[in-house]
């Protein structure tokens, strides 16, 4: 009952921004995204979620829902741990040194780290190189020899990590199998320190964050902002339906693999830089050719299900084009950054809770935007019908909105909103008909008004569904 009341209230209004695309009018899509995400945040019992969409050098849309902490609403400026998205910054740092001729991709790890003595258990293995570390094909274990993902989340220092090298050995021969490895990226961070002569965090700030204007991205969790601008992380849902708050942690020596905090607006800027660099011949942080090299496939797992670039995941997206990016999962936080390179579109989302999938929400946003067309039908004013209607007891409700001159409905909640969107063509009065996939007209939809002329329910298949209170 408590959950139903919260859903009916839909009380936590989002903060959202949008820019107008010259070719397509996305305004109605933004409204639908906003309605969908604000509802999903409650049904999925997320403490807070923020998201943004980039088209080349513009932020098309951004929104935030729920709470970063008790009494502190989530905003698009709210910081979260971005966890493994941190690896992209480490990879950029390594490739800056590559551009400067200070490292080569086929250099071996022991060239830079004299304390490296992890046992190679395969005598016929090839060398562990920077390329294999960047593409998660080094054969190294996933983690250093500490249980930092459990208990009190104590992350070891660099000295502590190196102190246990002798207790570890390779998992596979190098360049043979894909094995995601936080240890590999941790070691790349150590190489950045050794080659640059700077501590890792200072190098990242001076050479990447400051030049790109990423003023709200930090190579560690900023303690002074925790509970306010930095969201408090929460556990996965427990058996009683609640989440537990988690304390602040610092990733210390593992920072190059998972230590950063940021917000969706800064990750949007990071995506804009990538689109900008790919379209020029001018060096900005990296040479354009170097970023393109990073975003090509450098390793394919024998099963053909995983393809990796240098730091980046690389895959074929839902529209058949090449996508790159990374996800993040840390105690109390989930995040994602995905870039459609051909269409210069990027999607990012952050949630301050474990046991969630931010890709579900960026995927839903993509699906809705992908429905936008350039053409627009002439139609009557649809504002009388826009709103949510109850579908109890079968599901929560249906939202009706306007879309290119037609009426659109979306079931709430919806894990795949693009598939659940249904379009209706106005016939006469308060009567519409469903537009089938083949553009033929299907069943009739009629809205019913009360004595004062206000729309109070709709009828379809001879059944009636009352309007929900406006949120």
Mean pLDDT confidence for 318-340:
97
What's the confidence (pLDDT) of residue 132?
98
pLDDT category at 21 given cuts 50, 70, 90 is very low
Contact between 386 and 455 under an 8 Å Cβ cutoff? The reply is no
Query: Which tens digit of pLDDT belongs to each residue from 228-244?
Result: 999 999 999 999 999 99
d(CA 85, CA 266): 12
CA–CA gap between residue 263 and residue 78 (Å, rounded): 6
Is residue 377's pLDDT more than 70? no
Question: Contact, 459 vs 467, CB < 8 A?
Answer: no
Confidence at residue 375, expressed as pLDDT on a 0 to 100 scale: 61
Q: How far apart are CA 285 and CA 96, in angstroms?
A: 7
- Of the chain, the percentage scoring pLDDT greater than 90 comes to 91
Q: State pLDDT tens for residues 111-159.
A: 999 999 999 999 999 999 999 999 999 999 999 999 999 989 999 999 9
Q: Is the pLDDT of residue 379 over 70?
A: no
Q: What angle do CA 325, 330, 331 make, to 5 degrees?
A: 160
Q: Are 298 and 286 within 8 A, CB to CB?
A: no
pLDDT above 70: residue 12: no
Per-residue pLDDT tens over the stretch 29-81: 999 999 999 999 999 999 999 999 999 999 999 999 999 999 999 999 999 99
Question: Residue ranges of the domains in the chain?
Answer: 387-466
**pTM to 2 decimal places:** 0.92
253: left (phi over 0), alpha (psi -120 to 50) or beta: alpha
Q: Would the pLDDT of 8 be above 50?
A: no
Quote the mean pLDDT of the chain: 93
* Distance separating alpha carbons of residues 402 and 201, to the nearest angstrom: 48
The per-residue pLDDT for range 391-450, each reduced to its tens digit, is 999 989 999 999 988 999 999 999 999 999 999 999 999 999 999 999 999 999 999 999
Residue 10: pLDDT band (50, 70, 90) is very low
pLDDT value, residue 191: 98
Residue 24: per-residue pLDDT: 79
**pLDDT, position 18:** 42
**284 token code pair:** 């900005």
Report pLDDT digits (tens) over 350-361.
999 999 999 999
Return the exposure string of 75-114: e unless at least 16 CB atoms fall within 10 Å of the residue's CB, then b: bbbbbbbbbbbbbbbbbbbbbbbbeeeebebebbbebbbe
Average pLDDT on 4-27 reads 49
């Amino acid at each position: 009952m408590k959950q139903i009341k919260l859903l009916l209230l839909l009380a936590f209004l989002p903060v959202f921004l949008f820019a107008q695309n010259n070719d397509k009018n996305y305004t109605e899509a933004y409204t639908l995204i906003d309605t969908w995400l604000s509802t999903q945040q409650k049904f999925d019992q997320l403490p807070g979620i923020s998201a943004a969409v980039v088209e080349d050098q513009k932020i098309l849309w951004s929104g935030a829902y729920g709470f970063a902490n008790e009494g502190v609403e989530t905003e698009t400026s709210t910081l979260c741990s971005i966890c493994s998205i941190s690896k992209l910054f480490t990879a950029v740092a390594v490739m800056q040194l590559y551009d400067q001729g200070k490292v080569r991709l086929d250099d071996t790890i022991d060239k830079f780290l004299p304390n490296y003595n992890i046992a190679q258990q395969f005598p016929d293995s090839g060398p562990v190189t920077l390329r294999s570390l960047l593409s998660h094909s080094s054969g190294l274990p996933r983690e250093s020899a500490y249980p930092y993902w459990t208990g009190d989340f104590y992350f070891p220092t660099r000295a502590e990590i190196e102190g246990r090298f002798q207790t570890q050995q390779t998992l596979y021969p190098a360049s043979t199998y894909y094995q995601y490895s936080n240890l590999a990226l941790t070691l790349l961070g150590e190489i950045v320190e050794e080659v640059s002569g700077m501590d890792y965090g200072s190098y990242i700030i001076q050479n990447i964050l400051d030049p790109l204007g990423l003023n709200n991205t930090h190579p560690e969790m900023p303690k002074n902002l925790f509970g306010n601008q930095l969201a408090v992380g929460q556990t996965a849902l427990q058996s009683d339906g609640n989440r537990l708050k988690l304390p602040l942690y610092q990733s210390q020596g593992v920072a190059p693999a998972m230590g950063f905090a940021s917000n969706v607006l800064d990750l949007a800027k990071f995506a804009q830089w990538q689109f900008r660099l790919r379209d020029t011949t001018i060096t900005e942080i990296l040479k354009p050719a170097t970023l393109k090299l990073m975003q090509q496939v450098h390793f394919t797992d024998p099963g053909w299900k995983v393809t990796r670039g240098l730091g980046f995941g690389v895959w074929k997206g839902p529209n058949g084009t090449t996508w790159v990016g990374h996800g993040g999962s840390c105690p109390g936080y989930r995040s994602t950054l995905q870039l459609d390179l051909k269409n210069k579109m990027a999607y990012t989302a952050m949630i301050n809770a474990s046991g969630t999938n931010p890709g579900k929400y960026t995927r839903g946003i993509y699906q809705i935007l992908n429905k936008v067309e350039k053409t627009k039908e002439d139609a009557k004013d649809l504002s009388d019908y826009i709103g949510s209607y109850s579908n109890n007891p079968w599901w929560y409700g249906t939202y009706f909105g306007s879309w290119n001159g037609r009426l659109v409905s979306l079931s709430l909640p919806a894990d795949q909103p693009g598939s659940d969107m249904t379009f209706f063509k106005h016939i006469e009065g308060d009567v519409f008909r469903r537009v089938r996939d083949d553009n033929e007209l299907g069943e009739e939809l009629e809205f019913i008004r009360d004595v004062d002329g206000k729309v109070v329910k709709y009828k379809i298949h001879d059944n009636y569904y009352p309007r929900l209170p406006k949120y």
